[in-house]
Amino acid sequence: MLLGFLLFYVGAVLFLNGLWLLGKIEDREIVAVNVLSGLAAAGVVIDGAFGSEADADSIRGAALTLMFSGTYLWVAYNRLANVDGRGLGWFSLFVSLTTVPVFLRAIASAGSASEVWLATNWLIWGILWFMYFLLLALQRPILRQTAWVTLLAGIVTGWLPGFLLLDGLM
């Protein structure tokens, strides 16, 4: 159930961040959903890493989830501090590189369609974080493409599966 909870808010924040990158939402306004989603992910991290049922797998999951939480809180900070985001861009490179072995491990051990789907999500998120690296750290002119990939990834990898998981349909 925590996966559905987390993915639902990942979907919301990615969808809205995509709209923000397209210029449909103001900088100051995007802060709220990034803080909300960052804190929701942080709650999952705390439970997975320090909860009473924490084990090696949940701690690994918490470490990976912290990349999401950190990204959303950093986006919020950047909007409040009015900085250019280069630091977040370099963090995004670290995250995108981290998703490569996560994807490879997940796809190699996938035993069901849902596990293949989750592995594919890691691939999509890795591509997205790499696009943030190109956009923010290297200042490549890919804002519109990054916005659309962000928006679509929010729907496909977050909102829809999160909603289906929360409703017990997946």
Q: CA 53 to CA 59: how far, in whole Å?
A: 10
11-48 pLDDT per residue, tens: 999 999 999 999 999 999 999 999 999 999 999 999 99
Q: CA 72 to CA 116: how far, in whole Å?
A: 26
pTM: 0.94
Residue 54 clears pLDDT 90, i.e. is over it: yes
Residue 169 clears pLDDT 90, i.e. is over it: no
Residue 96 clears pLDDT 90, i.e. is over it: yes
User: pLDDT value at position 112?
Assistant: 94
Residue 124 clears pLDDT 90, i.e. is over it: yes
Q: CA 114 to CA 127: how far, in whole Å?
A: 20
Lookup result for tokens 């989750």: 118
User: pLDDT value at position 1?
Assistant: 82
45 contacts 66 by C-beta, under 8 angstroms: yes
CATH architecture of 1-167: Alpha Horseshoe (1.25)
